[in-house]
Structure 1
Amino acid sequence: MGTDNALKIVKALQSNNTSLKEFTIASNNIGSEAANKIAVILAHNTELQKLKMTQNELEEGNNIGSKAAGDIAAVLSRNTKLQKFNMANNNLETNSVIEIARTLQHISSLIELNISSNNIGSKAADDIAAVISHNTKLQRLDIAENNLETYGIIRIAKHLKKTSCLQQFNSSSNNIGSNSANDIAAVLSCNTKLQQFNIKGNDLQTSDIIKIAIALQNTSSLLELNVSSNNISCDAAEDIATVLSHNTKLQKFYIDGNALQTSGAIKIAQGLQNTLYLKEFDISSNKIGSEAADAIACVLSHNTKLQKFFIDINRLQTSGAIKVAKALQNTSSLKEFTISSNNIGSDAAEDIAAVLSHNTEV
């Protein structure tokens, strides 16, 4: 869109638009001048229910700046019925988030809060936590990719325990560490209607994942689970498998980049045996040997609407690859499929080719 076109929108909004209920401007490189003016106009509204300003290069370096943050805070102060707030991927910085969060603390109607990918840091955690404590009917929370660290996630989790309506919780890539597992588990045990849970890339250990998995075993509504890149060993596989066995409508499951090994992969596959709706399944980079191929193949044969399947960077060898490929030949919906780096010989080529011939969009 650019700044000039954004300013034209500003002019159109300047008259007789004091009752807007929804405003979205995303991925438009609108510039800080237009952003400030939009915020000033929106401040005259008192009925706003949804505000989305994501992926907008508001200043050089994609930095929203303290002036725009103040104007956005002014918008929020007059729109106390706000239900959805999304400022993802704007590189807000800590001080801007604190200013916005302190204004959001006067709102108690939020059902969706997304401040992901803003490099917030742990210093803003107390103010974000206060927002959550005032919004106990929150359904969707996305705080991913903010480097909240252990302190930040513990502060937020302690207030999230007051909620019981969470359906989506994304705290991926926050450098959480192992000391926060008990608090995260407490959140999960209070929110048994969770549909999406993402804790990818947080340097959690096996013992942490076990605590989190045990808490998730009270949930049967999961549609998406992402625990990839967390140093998970085979010792946590049984507890994760129990979670999977209770969530038979699971559609997306990612456990790549861990250390399940063969025994762990077998347990995970056994937990997925009653699942029929998988669309995405990533178990790549887990040191899985050919002995797990039968169990994985059984999962694949039951999930014929699979769209994405990744099992690369393992140790399947030719025999394991053949079993996996034969199971996938019942599927015709695959769009992405990787089985590379598995020490596969030419004897598996025909079966892999058959998979590709049945899935022309791969």
Structure 2
Amino acid sequence: MSNPYAEIFRVPGTKGFSSAGFIARLPLPMSTIGIVAMLSQTHGEYWLAGAVSATFALANAFIAPQVSRWVDRKGQAAVLAPTVSIAFLGLIGLAAAAWAESPNWVLFVFALIAGVMPSIGSMVRARWTEIYRGEPQLHAAFAFESVLDELVYMAGPVFGIGLSVALFPEAGVLAAASFLAVGSTLFMIQKSTEPKLGAQTLNRSGSVMRYPAMWFVVFVFIGIGMIFGTVEVAVIAFAEALGNKAAATYVLSLYAAGSCAVGLLFGAMSFKRSLASRLLIASVVALITTLPLPFVGNLWVLTLMVFISGSIASPTFITGMSLIERIVPSAQLTEGITYAMTGVLIGFAAGSSVSGWMIDAYGASNGFWGAVFGGLVAVAAMVAGYRRLFALTQTPAPTDAMLPAAS
């Protein structure tokens, strides 16, 4: 049996843009947690650290889809150069303002500027789609990138916190700026795999969110993002409550390991069920795996349950991304994928916030109820949108000649 992952990298340039994309994706999760680590040390106020980090995350959630829409109209390299430069200066300015103990409003301004950071993961997937549109290799390519996303969202916070604590408070944010500049530059210079602009691209004005089906998929991603955010916060609190905070690192590592392992296996498989059916099943399983978490009493059981819960993340991502390819025309694929990734970011922020509040009010174990709620959001979205999504999988994928429909 041939290795599907070896096959996808046989096309020249694929190793290069995927590797560069991995580096360029690290800054987003590094920045969100790095801002908290930096400001909690320089200013000693967690409310400020959390508020500035949330400002960056929410700004990116609203700006990144518009940047991706611009990418679909003008091309990746043309848009990456200015937006990466702006985001880079925003991160550098934020670190400098923290070091200089500037007024709080200055921190918020630079956080907003840094929020211009583009969605590199969406552009990487757009390149894979350009190469393997309509071919089985695209499933494996999406699986591989979903695994890399897991590594990014787990390794990024570790780098962001670790550098700030081990070196100096601003180190995590400065490292994020460096990864953004280097990774994006390496990504931009690889012209051979950049998606070509279609004849209809320049005339497009409607957002992909005019497709009702997109809302259901985005809410599934919001629910999964809530599970991510909840687990990251609640695991740390749970381990600390048991007097072994350092163990949280190993538990969260296994959470990522579970998702990566199943993601690689899932990407190598072929399925007869429709994409809509697969996403519904994945959402239900995601909910079921969160149900035991609030009742866990020790770290060993928590580690096992977190590993099982993490194993469903990648299949959900892979299937959801494949559905988006069926929902939107190819000329708007980057924008569509970015909205999905934005959903994860919004869900992550909501999950971590709700979990933190629950932990402070009711104890560490109860923080995991945020993950259960996230699972309910994902399932509710799929139940509500199943008919529409199933119908889409029974028809040909939209072409560049199709304009967004309002219904």
Q: Which has the higher strand share?
A: 1
Larger Rg, first or second structure (1 or 2): 1
Greater helix share, 1 or 2?
Answer: 2
Q: TM-score, normalised by structure 2?
A: 0.21
Between the two structures, name the one with larger relative contact order (CA 8 Å, sep ≥ 6).
Answer: 2
